[in-house]
Structure 1
Amino acid sequence: MESNFALNDFLPFRLNVLAQTVSERLSAIYASKFNLDIPQWRILANLASRGDMTAQDIARITYSHKSTVSRAVQELQNRGLIARKVSSADKRSFTLALTSEGRRMFRQLLPLVLEFERKLMASISDADARALLKGLAALETVLLGSDGETE
């Protein structure tokens, strides 16, 4: 055992554990009420917030494997929540878009996930919340670049 290494104080470890825990707790909300898994939620959330996108873009933004996104897209299509459209930029590719049913579901789901976030953030002071968000933004800029996406 390396006595000078405190894993629980190692930032990458703590961020990973926290991200996984938040994701699991949040997924309990949309899994139980909407029968969505984590990849499906991420696709719906990205389409709702960013508009039509390709599956490749979603995989890149969410750091998901292409096959994971592909399976989730297929299930969401089967449920009538998203549709594939021929890309206006490249007729050989497809973009994904929320259907009216997908938009309806997202509108029902959004208050629940925002309430989860509100309760989570209420557990720390306003000053700590601002500092946390500022610190995360700084780390994102260092690691991902100024646009917040992978370079």
Structure 2
Amino acid sequence: MPAQDDTRPGVAPSPEVVRDPLYDVVDPESFTPRLLALLSNALVWRESQELRREFGLGTNEWRVLSALATRPGSSASEVSEFLGVNKAIVSKSVNTLADRRLIALFDGPRGSRPMHLTPSGAQLHHEMRPISMRGQEVILAGMTEAEIAQFNTALLRMLALIRTAD
């Protein structure tokens, strides 16, 4: 006899399912990684919605533009590493930006493809930047300059630790 499918709506769960909360759960209101993820997701969602509405581009394209604004001549691999995102995401964004003539790709040494903003890309970066900066304003609201410096130092320390963690 086949096992009962407990995932279908309207089907009673078998007696073997866990019906009560476990005793050793992570408290969702004080688990810092969850809270950071929720904050990040909310900021990215808000930013992406605004960028798509105003410019027809999302957060991933903004991140590539921003990376090239600070690191002109970077390759897609270098942008991917700098942003800490999958190369496929960067590749898709690069194609979108190149198709819209917001970035230019060149042939570089050893098969690399250095990228630069076009004048239109630089102008768009300038226009998109305030939307991204609103997220920072939300995070830092009410903090003093000293608290902001301490907070950023702690975040950078955590990033360094996570990069070396096993």
Q: TM-score, normalised by structure 1?
A: 0.81
130, 143, 165: which one aligns with 1:125: 143
Question: Taking structure 1 as reference, are residues 11 and 120 closer, same or farther at Cα in structure 2, changes over 3 Å only?
Answer: closer
**SS state of the match for residue 36, structure 1?**
coil
Bigger radius of gyration: 2
**Which 5+ residue runs of structure 2 have no aligned equivalent?**
1-21
**8 Å CA contact 2:60, 2:89 repeated in 1:** yes
Correspondence for 2:18: none
Alignment CA distance shift 1:121-1:58 (3 Å):
same
Cα distance, 1:25 vs structure 2: 1.5
CA RMSD across the alignment: 2.1
Aligned to 2:67: 46
1:5 aligns with 2:26: yes
Q: Is the 8 A contact 2:43 2:135 kept in 1?
A: no
What amino acid is aligned across from residue 28 of structure 1 in structure 2?
Answer: Q
- Aligned identity (percent) is 23
Q: Scaled by the length of structure 2, what TM-score is found?
A: 0.74
Question: Looking at both structures, which has the greater relative contact order when contacts are Cα pairs under 8 Å and sequence separation is at least 6?
Answer: 1
1:32 matched to 2:60? The reply is: no
- The equivalent residue for 1:149 is none
Contact preservation (8 Å) 1:30, 1:37: yes
Aligned-partner Cα distance in 2 for 1:39–1:113: 12
1:144 is the counterpart of 2:163: yes
- Partner letter of residue 10 of structure 1? F
Name the CA distance, whole Å, in 2 between partners of 1:18 and 1:119: 10
